[in-house]
Structure 1
Amino acid sequence: MTDVSRRNLIKGAGLIAGGALPSFAGAIPAPSRPDAPGADDAVVQWGRGADGQRKADLGNGLYRNPIVSGDHADPTILKDGDDYYMTFSSFDSYPGLVIWRSTDLVNWAPVGPALHQNLGTIWAVDLVKHDGRYFIYIPADPKGEGWSIFVIWADDIRGPWSEPIDLKISGCIDPGHVVGEDGRRYLFTNGIRKIRLTKDGLATDGQLEKAYDPWRYPDDWIVENFAPEGPKLLRRNGWFYLVTAIGGTAGPVTGHMVIAARSRSVHGPWEHCPRNPLVRTQSTSEPWWSRGHATLVEGPAGDWWMVYHGYENGMRTLGRQTLLEPIQWTADGWFEALGGDLSQALPKPAGGRVSASAPGLTDDFSDDRFGVQWSFHAPRKGEAQRATYEPGALRVTASGISPADSSPLTCLVGDRRYEAEISLALEGDAEAGLILFYNHKAFVGLGFTPKALKLYEYAEELPWARIEHEKRSMRLRIGNDENVVTYHYSFDDGKSWTRHGTRMEVSGMHHNVFGGFLALRLGIYVAGNGSARLRDFRYRC
């Protein structure tokens, strides 16, 4: 996008030099672009939703990315009449594949989980509707014997969803569904390959074959690897458009990118877009890193948008967050992205009704919020039975002997600064605690037994930091201020607090260090023998 077109877009939003900017108490300013003119660098703050969580909708006709904060990677979006639905990679969290709904592309609220059966790690699914039925195509490796693609279906987006069906497409991930000019259904996969499906979409009807040789970037560009993946397809005005991610989804911030190709037939030949790459992070000074894995979607008023993911500058611990960027179709039948580096507030899509946004994370445990807020990480068979709702509390039976081998209850966060606290009461010879959890090799936090308060640093307990006591209940608090973590504990249910003497810095707890493409989540673990009663979870920014 040229400097002139970017400036015109900002001017259309009323954000020109000297113009008034919206102000929101407690909001965190975006990183500025040191290489851009001052008139284009006005800092725009986020709105605030429930619990003070940051919110994309600024309430004045503008929005600021992310549209879904926190670890919502590989977005797949479906326009269904006046509604939009979206889901994301859920990785090792179960219940998984939470479906979100919007009517304006900016405000999103969870509907509920579509997947309950443990298929192992879930990456880059595709949500589609065909002949009145909803489908989610799911790459998974449930037995550790190699990836395949599964499918679940439902006649109502809210479910119930079917049990997973293995399509037996070996060694493939990142499915992208399309109906060809012949009326037949196809899945494209990483590679970029394609395979024909049966009419009902629940089995394959042919062989996996090469579909497209993606556009190649110059050899001196700094990327992670070539990695053609995430194919998403759209048919418009007689053309099939194939939008693909290349360059690797993590690694150097300049690696991930969005490219496009088009063809008159789903079988090719495919023509590279002359504007490739359409989206790419150019330097570490930009507010969003590793931008890619895009899908095009038509807005409520007929304008067009691109939804993709990216890491926030300096905050890889939050995972890949969901971004919305305007595009425009050009006279030559291609399209171009208009949002620039997304540091500015942008005009909201026209014509949409404002819909509900994400609920707060504070939880009194009076309602079942599994699959919407809470999920178990890498649960074993029957893990869901560990949790039982009681009046005003959630009882969780112990798993493992410490956070290093338990299946913690986790909660995604999307704020750069926050505090969370909870009351825990032990029964039997249990240990429980409040942690920040990436995976079993990377976590920090406080835990306690009836005899001692424990401190975990980078997946190991620090024995010298133990504090002896004789209590079976405790209230714990974690504060995370842009990856600097502070702990407090209370023996009188929060009436008085003691700050723990150790603080930690956790900016390295992300994929480029520990793998897995995950994020640093709030976690509650219960280990040992017995159970713990969880009460009065509070979250604030």
Structure 2
Amino acid sequence: MIRNPILPGFNPDPSILRVGDDYYIATSTFEWFPGVQIYHSRDLVNWRLLTRPLTRPDQLDMRGDGDSCGVWAPCLTHDGTLFHLIYTDVKRYGRTTVGGASGASLRDFHNYLVTAESIDGPWSDPIYLNSSGFDPSLFHDEDGRKYLVNMLWDHRPGRNRFAGIVLQEYSPEQRRLVGERRNIFPGTPLGLTEAPHLYQRDGWYYLLTAEGGTGWNHAVTMARSRSIDGPYELHPDRYILSSRTRPDAPLQRAGHADLVHAQDGTPYLAYLCGRPLPNRGRCVMGRETALQPMRWGEDGWLYTLAGDGMPLAEAPAPALALASFDPAPIRADFDDATLPIDLQWLRSPFPERLFSLTERPGHLRLFGRETIGSSFEQSLVARRQQAFCYTARTMVDFDPQHFQQAAGLVCYYNATKFHYLHISHDEEAGRHVRVMSALPDSPQADAFTAPVPVPAGPVQLRVDVDYERLRFAWRMTEGEAWNWLPEQFDASILSDEASAPGLPNFTGAFVGIACQDMAGTARPADFDWFDYEERPYRAQPV
């Protein structure tokens, strides 16, 4: 069986592809570097993170990109010779002031194409395509021509911001878009039409879009036409997949889908979804990727197997030999010259300014940079939360000289949402641990616990998360009892839903390590190891 989500934790906007017997899914990474996650499977049941293709400054530089900006909605395709990866780098979104007035309607979306002969690269320098909107997708027509489709953004007052799906031909020889763009689909009254993908079958062009926004009203819309230019007629059910009318469904927010056919011709739909915390309605793991088989009806339209348009927590898998992968190790020892693939950092294409795995062998050295939450140069290395209950631990060697230097263990969503157990120093407490929280749903934007003095030497830090409950602890040596801080923190703030109005929130909760030096002297912190262990629920930490 396929058990959803197949890609747990922050893995939104899936683009699925089959090349021979290999399946690939590309997902959005937003402000996290390197850009785009590509997963691999041979059975549609077992998946592994294979590569992140956008690794170089000439491919992606997100310094200055706001929270939940950066890489949106990649599209991964293959034309028989080359892999093609389309992506958006969003430079501006959300509440910004221009001359004292709101500039929320003014947004910058830049769309690019990179190619590679092999899925694991090397990937080419980017080709700039356009900036007319986001969610670009490349379609390879049977006649050999290629077309880009993307949603069209309209900033003018009184207009529909989501102004339809535009189509324009792409010339591989000229390495640019050619001809005029054409608006081929205005969307339905549900609105917020985005995430277009084109397919060809039995003389029809099928257009798949997402509508209703990426929250609780999300839906997958299908239309078709005999001509690529349209006009496109709507599916008889209009929305082929959605949980918008079923608040009891285990998978919510279903939408933003892509279609692939298995070797036997069965269609499978990959789509994003969210799993709310029980009784809280917040999706701390953000938007995840699910997959289920579909069927082509006698009328030539696509339907779910039951015909009810519902996302499935479990679904039949294809009759393929199972191909499992070794589980990821709990501990990252930092003994290699490269980071474990599960770990990422924020925005910068120059990791050598943020961390080193060679300056102190066997350790990850983070250089103290800007404040936690900075949009430019922040030393924070973290991995996705992928289960409702987990424990994370680390050991850090850090000798701060004053209050502007800090390092420690962080549960992070973005600059306005985190809980940070850190070591620092001040005149009264000396070297100490305390928690700083950024609270999006509180009149007090940030909060601090009282400092707890700690002796000199490396310190072990720990966090236990059980659904919406979060606890921190510290100790000096292995085998010693943990010193639990008395406070219980709200883990549910690390979610899309906990936010001030008007701000983009499209990622998910991370847990990792960080270091700041707000005096600008780059004082380092050395982390010996980092553990991430998923586990069953328990009421109290041990």
TM-score when normalising by structure 1: 0.81
Alignment of 1:228 onto 2:217: no
Choose from 412, 437, 457 the match for 1:457.
437
CA distance in 2, matches of 1:273, 1:264: 14
Q: Which is further off, 178-187 or 80-89?
A: 178-187
* Structure 1 match to 2:179: 206
Residue 265 of structure 1 corresponds to 227
Identity of aligned residues (%): 27
1:231-250 paired onto structure 2 within 5 Å: 231-250=196-215
Q: CA deviation at 1:67?
A: 0.5
The answer to which of 419-428 and 227-236 deviates more is 419-428
Q: Which residue number corresponds to residue 378 of structure 1?
A: 347
Deviations 1:66-102 (A, max 9, x none): 1110000000111111101111111001112121111
- From 529, 535, 538, give the equivalent of 2:531: 538
- 1:478–1:464 distance in 2 versus 1, CA, 3 Å: closer
Aligned position for 1:322: 289
What's the CA shift for 1:467? 0.7
Q: Using the TM superposition, give the Cα deviation of residue 183 of structure 1 relative to its aligned residue in structure 2, in angstroms.
A: 2.9
Residues 334-391 of structure 1: CA deviation (Å, up to 9, x unaligned): 1101376456533222224424266245311123554821111233x63444222143
1:137 aligns with 2:86: yes
Q: Does 1:179 align with 2:179?
A: no
Work out the CA distance in 2 between the residues paired with 1:229 and 1:370. Answer: 35
User: What is the distance in 2 between the residues matched to 1:298 and 1:179?
Assistant: 16
Check the 8 A contact 1:181/1:265 in 2, yes or no: no
1:437 aligns with 2:412: yes
Q: 2:253 aligns with which of 284, 287, 290?
A: 290
1:142 Cα shift? 4.7
Moved more, 487-496 or 190-199: 487-496
Structure 2 letter corresponding to 1:227: L
How far off its partner does 1:461 sit?
6.2
User: For the residues of structure 2 that align with 1:89 and 1:447, how far apart are their CA atoms?
Assistant: 29
From 170, 186, 193, the counterpart of 2:166: 193
Q: Give the superposition deviation at 1:470.
A: 3.2
SS of alignment partner, residue 449 of structure 1: strand
Q: Please tell me whether the aligned partners of residues 252 and 275 of structure 2 are also in contact (alpha carbons under 8 angstroms).
A: yes
How far apart in 2 are the matches of 1:425 and 1:193? 54
Q: Of the candidates 467, 472, 496, which is equivalent to residue 487 of structure 1?
A: 472
SS in 2 for 1:204: strand
Relative to structure 1, is the Cα distance of residues 99 and 464 closer, same or farther in structure 2, using a 3 angstrom cutoff? closer
Shift of 1:403: 5.8
After superposition, the Cα gap between the structure-2 partners of 1:428 and 1:488, relative to the gap in structure 1 and judged at 3 Å, is closer
Structure 1 match to 2:428:
none
Gaps (5+ residues) in structure 2?
63-69, 94-106, 152-163, 426-430, 440-444, 536-542
Residue matched to 1:331: 298
Q: Quick check: 2:373–2:416 contact (8 Å CA) kept in 1?
A: no
Supply the distance in 1 between the matched residues of 2:172 and 2:332 (Cα, whole angstroms).
44
**Deviation larger for 233-242 or 352-361:** 352-361
Greater fraction helix: 1
Distance 2:247 2:256 in 1: 19
C-alpha contact 1:109 1:359 (8 A) present in aligned 2:
no
Q: Secondary structure at the match of 1:507?
A: helix
Q: Say which SS state the counterpart of residue 66 (structure 1) adopts.
A: coil
Q: Tell me if 1:89 matches 2:28.
A: yes
**Could you tell me which residue of structure 2 aligns to residue 511 of structure 1?**
496
Classify 1:453/1:427 alpha carbon distance in 2 versus 1 (closer, same or farther; 3 Å): closer
Q: CA deviation at 1:103?
A: 0.6
CA distance in 2, matches of 1:89, 1:98: 7
**Structure with the higher strand share, 1 or 2:** 2
Give unpaired runs (5+ residues) of structure 1. Answer: 1-61, 218-225
Distance of 1:115 and 1:264 partners within structure 2: 36
Q: 1:180, 1:265 within 8 Å by CA — same for their partners in 2? A: no
- Kindly report which structure 2 residues correspond to 1:336-355, keeping only aligned pairs within 5 A, or say none: 336-338=303-305, 341-342=310-311, 344-355=313-324
Looking at structure 2, the residues matched to 516 and 286 of structure 1 have their Cα atoms a distance apart, in angstroms, of 22
Q: In the alignment, which residue of structure 1 is the partner of 2:96? A: none
Q: Does 2:104 align with 1:104? A: no
Secondary structure class of the residue paired with 2:498? helix
DSSP 3-state at the match of 2:525: strand
- AA of the residue aligned to 1:244: T
Q: Distance in 2 between matches of 1:150 and 1:81?
A: 26
Q: Of 104, 115, 124, which residue of structure 1 is paired with 2:73?
A: 124
Deviates more, 1:455-464 or 1:180-189: 455-464
In the alignment, which of 123, 130, 133 is matched to residue 161 of structure 1? 123
In structure 2, which of residues 357, 360, 363 is the aligned counterpart of residue 393 of structure 1? 363
Letter of the 1:293 partner, please give it.
H
Are the counterparts in 2 of residues 105 and 299 from structure 1 also a CA contact under 8 Å?
Answer: no
**Alpha-carbon distance in 2 for matches of 1:533, 1:418:** 23
Residue pair 1:402, 1:431 contacting (<8 A) in 2 also: no
1:232 counterpart letter in structure 2:
H
Rounded to whole Å, the distance in 2 between the matches of 1:531 and 1:147 is 35
* 8 Å Cα contact 1:445/1:478 also seen in 2: no
Note closer, same or farther for the CA distance 1:269–1:294 as it changes in structure 2 (3 Å cut).
same
Tell me, in whole angstroms, the C-alpha distance in 2 between the residues paired with 1:444 and 1:143.
26
After TM superposition, give the deviation of residue 316 of structure 1 in Å: 0.8
The alignment yields a C-alpha RMSD, in angstroms, of: 2.3
* 2:331 alignment counterpart: 362
The SS at the match of 2:71 is coil
Superposed CA deviations along residues 139-190 of structure 1, whole A, max 9, x for unmatched, are 11358872121111111111111222222x1231101211235431101101
Q: Does 1:305 align with 2:290?
A: no
**Contact 2:338–2:357 under 8 Å retained in 1:** no
Paired residues for 1:32-111 under 5 Å = 62-111=1-50
Contact 1:388 1:394 in 2 (8 A): yes
Q: Write the distance in 1 (CA, Å) between the matches of 2:223 and 2:29.
A: 28
Using the TM superposition, give the Cα deviation of residue 216 of structure 1 relative to its aligned residue in structure 2, in angstroms.
Answer: 3.3
Distance 1:497 1:440, change over 3 A: same
C-alpha displacement at 1:463, in angstroms? 4.6
Number of residue pairs matched by the alignment: 467
How far residue 494 of structure 1 moved from its aligned partner, in angstroms, is 5.2
- 2:458 corresponds, among 468, 473, 492, to 473
Partner Cα distance (1:461, 1:183) in 2 = 56
- Counterpart of 1:113 in structure 2 is 52
Q: TM-score, normalised by structure 2?
A: 0.81
8 A Cα contact 1:318 1:519, kept in partner: yes
